[in-house]
Amino acid sequence: MTNKRSVVLISGGLDSATVLAYALSGGYETTAVSFDYGQRHSIELESGERICQHYGIERKVVNLDMKQIGGSSLTSNMKVETRSIDEISESIPTSYVPARNTIFLSVASAFAEVLDADTIFIGANAVDYSGYPDCRPKFFNSMEDTINLGTKRGQHSRLRIAVPLQYLTKGEIISLGMRLKVPYDLTHSCYNGEEEACGECDSCLLRLKGFMDSGFRDPVKYKKYPDFYKKYIGKSVL
């Protein structure tokens, strides 16, 4: 038995599923927290539920309508742009949701306080990422200071924000997840929010490149595959 407790932010995507498996493998008693924030790909919430059921852990879903804030293609009618895999990370894309991780981690810190958890896990990544400012290591360091100053718990013991995938490439994340037996078939990464992934948005491209780099094949179905992945699945894969 363990007395380590954690809160894990679960979107339903590949990274958060991997980070959940990582927290559980570390012996943390874990509560998952997801947000219904008006994301167009709200299908990820169902994926999150299936992942939590797979692991038999409790999940809290917090309703917070970010549509009324706007400013993002993920929460409005703005089109999610498509760009080539090489263009990703060159600029902040329209899928950026203003202050999303700040908001998510704030709410997670409230849950952590009430559940007496000492660690918040988040599946953010600063290598193969979409250029969001709130995925950078210096953001998380500052946020950790802030939540410790802003909570009662932080006055006597430190609450930690753990970002274990921070410095891994997408390929390395998938390699780690495969060792941890993450049910990637249950995850949903596509921004467009249909049952079948589009294979064109940043999120699909980064995911497929990650599977290619790790030597595995993505178990999820796609409407179409980018050329680089077509060449790859022509070869034999794990």
For a copy of itself, the closer CB: 79 or 235: 79
User: What Cα–Cα distance (Å) separates residue 197 from each residue in 44, 140, 223?
Assistant: 11, 30, 6
Residues binding a copy of itself: what is the number (CB under 8 A)?
A: 43
Task: Work out which of 155, 227, 234, 238 binds a copy of itself, going by CB under 8 A.
Answer: 155
For a copy of itself, the closer CB: 2 or 155: 155
The answer on whether 11 is annotated among ligand-binding residues is yes
Task: Work out which of 43, 49, 54, 62 binds a copy of itself, going by CB under 8 A.
Answer: 62
CB neighbours of residue 139 within 10 Å: 19
The answer on whether 190 is annotated among ligand-binding residues is yes
Sign of the dihedral defined by the CA atoms of residues 220, 223, 227, 230, in that order? positive
CA 189-192-195 angle, to 5 degrees, is: 70
At residue 153, what is the residue type? R
Q: Which two tokens stand for residue 197?
A: 């992934």
Instruction: Considering only residues 79 through 108, tell me which ones interact with a copy of itself, judged by CB under 8 A.
Output: 92, 96-103, 105-107
Per CB under 8 A, 64 contacts a copy of itself: yes
- Contacts for 112 with CB less than 8 Å, ≥ 6 apart: 7, 118, 119, 120, 151, 153, 159
For a copy of itself, the closer CB: 94 or 169: 94
Task: Work out which of 2, 63, 77, 236 binds a copy of itself, going by CB under 8 A.
Answer: 63
Helix axes 14-25, 170-179, angle to 10 degrees: 50
Per CB under 8 A, 133 contacts a copy of itself: yes
Per CB under 8 A, 216 contacts a copy of itself: no
- CA 198, CA 91: separation in Å to the nearest integer? 21
For the bound state, the minimum distance from the C-beta of residue 196 to a copy of itself, rounded and expressed in Å, comes to 30
Q: Which two tokens stand for residue 17?
A: 């599923």
At residue 237, what is the residue type? V
Q: Which residues are annotated as a binding site for ATP?
A: 10-20
Interface residue list for a copy of itself (CB under 8 A)? 60, 62-66, 68-71, 92, 96-103, 105-107, 109-111, 113-114, 133-134, 136, 138-139, 142-143, 145-147, 149-152, 154-155
